[in-house]
A and B are shown apart, each in its own frame.
Chain A
Amino acid sequence: MGSAQRVSAQGGEGVFQKTLLLSALAIVVLLAAIFLSLFLHSVPSLRDFGFSFLVNKTWNPVSREFGALSFLVGTLLTSCLSLIICLPFSLAISIFLGEYCIEGLLSSFLKNVTELLAGIPSVIYGFWGLFVLVPVMRKLEMKLGVAPYGVGIITASLILSVMIVPYAASIAREVISLVPSDIKEAAYSLGATKQEVITRIILPYARSGILAGILLALGRALGETMAVTMVIGNSNLLPQSIFSPGNTMASVIANEFTEATGRIYLSSLIEIGLLLFLVTTVINIIGKMIISRVSVEA
């Protein structure tokens, strides 16, 4: 190798290392900048309303009074309801794929279908919900004798649960597969039935991993925007029951951001965005931490 070539190789080396470093730094800085931007633009709202922003249920753009309580309640209700609905189904899928039907046509069919379910865009779930689920809910609500809006908290929760089932199922399957087979085999050799092995050995063993899966699914549900926006009814009043229309933090941003006139209105919406960002971040980090601890132990 000539000396000129060697010099250019060293130059290339330097440029290469710097490029890698720069990209890595860029992503870290990007995240920091996202947080800072959200925070700085929330300052007017933080200063004017302070803590009362979280406990005031009045959201009135005309009188410039902004409180996010209705949206916090709406978000909490839809996410928790959807988790409760999705839990038995996602656990069933993960147990079925992990213990009953480990390979074969049915198993790969089920695996592929759940993955496809996860790939369908959120707006299409919303569209389908609006035209198929909402009329069904309206009929159901008429039978139950509550105001038949069709749209509302419960409709949004149903759509959300359909959307998070594949995600929760894939995490549950992962943690269930981490259960060591020697303890399962030990239980079988003592004469335990499959049901006993699953409910007394596998599920207790995978408990913390399943909890992490629930947390990660919650993080998903909290931030889900389009499908919820389309079927929740977009009412800024505090929801009176699970059948009444409402709004979540994400859906109120989606609905009102482009029409937000005035500094304080926009700032209040951005503060909701900041809250959403912080809550999902904390939930995701805790969930991931539990998962990585579980995988290290196994």
Chain B
Amino acid sequence: MDRERIKMRVVKDRGFEVMVILLSLFSMVPLVLILFYILRNGFSAISWEFLTELPRPVGEEGGGIANAIVGSFLLVFVASLPAIPIGITAGVYLSENQKGKLPYLLRLAVEVLQGTPSIVIGIIAYLWLVIAMGGFSAVSGGIALGIMMLPVIVRTTEETLRLIPDTLKEASLALGVPYYRTIVKVVIPAGLSGITTGILISVARIAGETAPLLFTAFGNPFMNVNIIKPVNALPLLIYNYATSPYPEWHRIAWGASCILVGLVLLLNLVARIIVGRWKVQF
């Protein structure tokens, strides 16, 4: 009787283990499938002309996505310009001021911003910049993406700097180095790898964002580097071409997906290597 019960429990235990393993492995299936389709359909589309030429009109074979690649880099640049300095300084503020009203509000604001749907950020950039400037532009798209970068940079900066021991700071202060020079010359350099990682992760996050660009950067079939004109971007191109009825455009969208996923994964990989190699150790 007892033996029977123990047997039942062991069987149940085994069954549970098998179920957990199967469910875990099964949830890997979509990723494998997605990567498989992107590589299979996308890799063959990529060639030198694909990277360097402009899109051709419907019906013509060939053509490339040079404008979207340049546009994506332009948008990331415009986004980083305000987001990196503001994000890092706000992160320093947070790590230096743990208690108080403003730190509390800032922490809350960063959390809320992080959870804000990207489409809402798009609406905001439209209301603030597109209406004011009288048209779609790279700068409005870039600012929308910049707002999305901010919370990531603030949080990683704060988390990194908090790990740096006070003794390091105190040693510098004891030598008579002013407070601000201690922060700029001692604390920030010590946390540089963490801060860099944060920036890379935030860039990886915005590089694939489409929703905030729909009514800001808008898309553009031509090459453009003027930041007050509409500009194309890789995710925008994928969206527009994937939802079009032309097989030739679908092929281009697969190729662009391949490049976008490659870029995003590469950024994540570099970020992880930096964390692993350069990890601040005390």
CA distance A121 to B233 in the complex (A): 13
How far does the Cβ of B232 sit from chain A's closest Cβ, in whole Å? 13
Interface footprint category on B: 35 or more
B90 engages A253 (CB within 8 Å):
no
Bound-complex Cα distance A281 to B89 (A): 24
Cβ-based interface call for B56 (8 A): no
Within 8 A of B (CB), among A100-126: 100, 110, 113-117, 119-126
In the bound complex, CA of A37 to CA of B119 (Å) = 15
Task: Tell which of A23-31, A43-51, A178-186 binds the partner.
Answer: A23-31
CB distance from A219 to the nearest CB of B (A): 5
- Interface: A204 (CB within 8 A): no
Is B113 in contact with A276, judged by CB distance below 8 angstroms?
no
- Expressed in whole angstroms, the minimum distance between the Cβ of B129 and any Cβ of chain A is 11
Q: Mark B214-227, 1 if CB is under 8 A from A, else 0.
A: 11001000000000
A90 to B9 Cα, complex, angstroms: 25
Partner of A225, one of B89, B109, B118, B264: B118
Contact among B19, B28, B111 for A285, CB-based, below 8 A: B111
Query: Contacts of B250 on A, CB cut-off 8 Å?
Result: 131
Q: Is the CB of A258 within 8 A of B12?
A: no
Interface residue? B75 (CB, 8 A): no
Q: Which of A116, A219, A269 contacts B265 (CB 8 A)?
A: A116
B contact face: mostly helix, strand, loop, or mixed? helix
Interface status of A17 (Cβ within 8 A of chain B): yes
- A120-B34 contact in complex given A27-B86, A250-B211, C-beta closer than 8 Å: yes
CB neighbors of A among B105-126 (8 A)? 105-106, 108-124, 126
* A137 lies within 8 A of chain B by Cβ: no
Say if the beta carbon of A198 comes within 8 Å of chain B.
Answer: yes
Known A24-B94, A100-B21; contact A119-B180, beta-carbon cutoff 8 A: no
Q: Which residue of B lies closest to A130 (CB)?
A: B242
Give Cα distance in the complex from A177 to B184, angstroms. Answer: 36
Mask of A6-17 contacts with B, CB within 8 angstroms, 1/0: 000110110111
Answer yes or no: A95 CB below 8 A from chain B CBs.
yes
Would you list which residues of chain A between 249 and 281 have a CB under 8 Å from chain B?
250, 253-254, 257-258, 269-270, 273, 276-277, 280-281
B152 at the interface (CB under 8 A from A): no
CB distance from A224 to the nearest CB of B (A): 8
CB-defined contacts of B154 to chain A, threshold 8 Å: 27
The verdict on B150 contacting chain A, using a C-beta distance below 8 Å, is yes
| A277: min CB distance to chain B, Å | 5
Partner of A123, one of B30, B120, B238: B238
Given the interface pairs A23-B89, A37-B127, A130-B243, the reply to whether A223 lies near B120 with Cβ below 8 Å is yes
For B12, what are the chain A residues with a Cβ–Cβ distance below 8 Å? 193, 195
| Residue numbers in B under 8 Å from A15 (CB-CB) | 180
Chain B residue with minimal CB distance to A274?
Answer: B120
Tell whether B27 is near chain A: CB-to-CB under 8 Å.
yes
Across the interface, name the chain B residue whose C-beta is closest to A118.
B268
| A117-B31, A119-B268 known; A27-B180 Cβ under 8 A | no
Q: How close is B262's CB to chain A, nearest CB, in angstroms?
A: 11
- Counting CB contacts under 8 A, is A139 at the interface? no
Query: What residues on A are CB-neighbors of B207 within 8 Å?
Result: 121
Q: How far is the CA of A124 from the CA of B113 in the complex (A)?
A: 24
Number of interface residues of A (CB under 8 A): 86
Whether B113 pairs with A89 at a CB distance below 8 angstroms is: no
Q: Is the CB of A225 within 8 A of B119?
A: yes
Interface 1/0 per residue, A84-97 and B, CB below 8 Å? 00001110110111
CB-based contact A16/B183 at 8 Å: yes
Q: Mark each residue of chain B from 87 to 111: 1 if its CB lies under 8 Å from any CB of chain A, else 0.
A: 1011011101000001101101111
In the complex, the answer to whether B27 meets A93 with C-beta atoms within 8 Å is: yes
List chain A residues, Cβ under 8 A from B10: 193
Minimum CB distance partner of A283 in chain B? B115
Query: In the assembled complex, which residues on chain A have CB atoms less than 8 Å from the CB atom of B27?
Result: 89-90, 92-93, 114, 165, 169
B209 interface residue, CB < 8 Å from A? yes
Tell me the complex Cα distance, A273–B121, Å: 9
Q: Which residues of the partner chain B approach A270 to less than 8 Å between Cβ atoms?
A: 123, 127
- Complex CA gap A121/B211 in Å reads 11
A38 close to B (CB within 8 Å): yes
Bound-state Cα–Cα, A186 to B261, Å: 46
Q: Which residues of B contact A (CB under 8 A)?
A: 9-10, 12-13, 15-17, 19-21, 23-24, 26-28, 30-31, 33-34, 37-38, 85-87, 89-90, 92-94, 96, 102-103, 105-106, 108-124, 126-128, 147, 150, 154, 176, 178-181, 183-184, 204, 207-211, 214-215, 218, 235, 238-239, 242-243, 250, 253-254, 257, 260-261, 264-265, 268
Extra contacts besides A31-B112, A270-B123 (18): CB < 8 Å: A9-B178, A23-B85, A24-B89, A24-B90, A26-B90, A27-B113, A30-B113, A38-B120, A92-B19, A93-B27, A100-B17, A121-B261, A131-B250, A169-B27, A225-B119, A250-B117, A254-B119, A283-B115
Q: List 7 A-B contacts (CB under 8 A).
A: A23-B93, A27-B113, A96-B24, A121-B235, A162-B30, A284-B111, A285-B111
